[in-house]
Amino acid sequence: MNAETTSPAQKIILDCDPGHDDAIAMLLAHGNPNLELLAVTTVAGNQTLEKVTTNARALARVGNITGIPFAAGASRPLVGPQLIPDEIHGESGLDGPELPAPGVPLEDTHAVNLIAQVIQDNEPGSVVIVPTGSLTNIALFARMYPELVERVGGVTLMGGGHHTGNMTPAAEFNILADPDAAAIVFEESWPVTMIGLDVTHQVLAVPDRMEQLKAIGTDVAQFIAELVEFFGASYMKERNYPGPPMHDPLAVAAVADPSVVRTIRAPIYVETQGAHARGQTIVDFRRTWSNNDPSGLGLVDDPEATSPNTSVAVDVDTDKFWDLLFDALRRIGDTNFKS
């Protein structure tokens, strides 16, 4: 949206698989004045590529997101079949509210080419990629356009965790959906920030937050409330959570305002084999560097040691997150997307 802060807005590409929380992430990215959403790309994940792409384009109509390109990407992981968590996101991938017709056209190019184009067209280091689905498109980008990797300002992704999984005891969905792609992304030279379950499970849309959301009183806030209702019922049924986690919006929020999370720089490995641990993200906390908290868990800070380019979020300021989301929705206002 329009930037009214003193520093220029951070440019981002959202690579997503909407998905209830992806939808909220997209609207947050659009409404936050510290962010400039340059492109939206989709990847198979919460539903088939066709469905999540249709959903993404419908969300553009909901949020009145215009003038930026949308492109579809990978329809399956690099290896193996697609996992579809329809017990969480339903048949459409975005069950709950009625969706409007798509609000933007689809580019006649693959998501990977669109990402390359955007990175090429902007100053080196000025664009952060925010993946909120599996990492297939981002791994393909790294392999197809290796010369552009160093121009990417960073990859701040929702996925993984250092303590728990959700699809298996060890693995989180976005990583398990394509562990081989994730391994490529974590091994690349760009800075990677992992916003994992350790922090997203602390940001639950519990009834009090829903009341605050509904009090905004716009058609977009009401749409999100309906999404959260369906998403919350899934999480209650499947996991007995008092509210659904705001996984994907937290990754966007962490770019909009890095102080929303506390991160630790540490090596992160993705398990691509393993009888029980395929898709696990393993954080080597034996060798850590503090990031935005100098008094944090910076255990080594060894000047001789090479600092890793991967960071993990270990703590979250939930009030700050909700303030950012509600502020973005107020700025978007009513879009009259139903008319």
Residues classed as catalytic: 247
The rounded distance, in Å, linking the Cα atoms of 291 and 289 is 6
Among 10, 14, 22, 232, binds ligand BDR (CB under 6 A): 22
Q: How far is the CB of 119 from ligand BDR (least distance, A)?
A: 23
Q: Which does 88 bind (CB under 5 to 8 A by kind): ligand BDR, Ca ion, none?
A: ligand BDR
Instruction: Return the residue of 15, 36, 95, 172 that touches ligand BDR, per CB under 6 A.
Output: 172
Tell me how far, at minimum, the Cβ of 276 lies from Ca ion, in Å.
24
15 is a site residue for ligand BDR (CB under 6 A): no
Check binding of 223 to ligand BDR (CB under 6 A).
no
Kindly tell me which residue out of 38, 49, 56, 88 binds ligand BDR, with binding defined by CB under 6 A: 88
* Cβ proximity to ligand BDR, 172 vs 188, nearer residue: 172
Residue 174 CB, nearest approach to ligand BDR (Å) = 5
Binding-site member from 34, 46, 156, 234 for ligand BDR (CB under 6 A): 46
**Residue list 103-132, contact with Ca ion (CB under 5 A):** 132
156 binds, among ligand BDR, Ca ion, none (CB under 5 to 8 A by kind): none
Q: Does 234 bind ligand BDR (CB under 6 A)?
A: no
Q: Is 235 in the site for ligand BDR (CB under 6 A)?
A: no
Alpha-carbon dihedral 250, 253, 259, 264, rounded to 10 degrees: 50
Q: How far is the CB of 19 from ligand BDR (least distance, A)?
A: 4
- Find out whether 178 and 131 touch, Cβ atoms under 8 Å: no
CA torsion sign for 297, 300, 301, 305 is negative
- Least Å from the CB of residue 173 to ligand BDR: 4
* Cβ nearer to ligand BDR, comparing 47 with 288: 47
Check residue 124 and give left, alpha or beta (phi > 0: left; psi -120 to 50: alpha): beta
Measured distance CA(187)–CA(135) in Å, rounded: 12
User: By the criterion CB under 5 A, which residues form the site for Ca ion?
Assistant: 17, 19, 22, 132-133, 248
User: By the criterion CB under 6 A, which residues form the site for ligand BDR?
Assistant: 19, 21-22, 46, 85, 88, 132, 158, 166, 172-174, 247-248
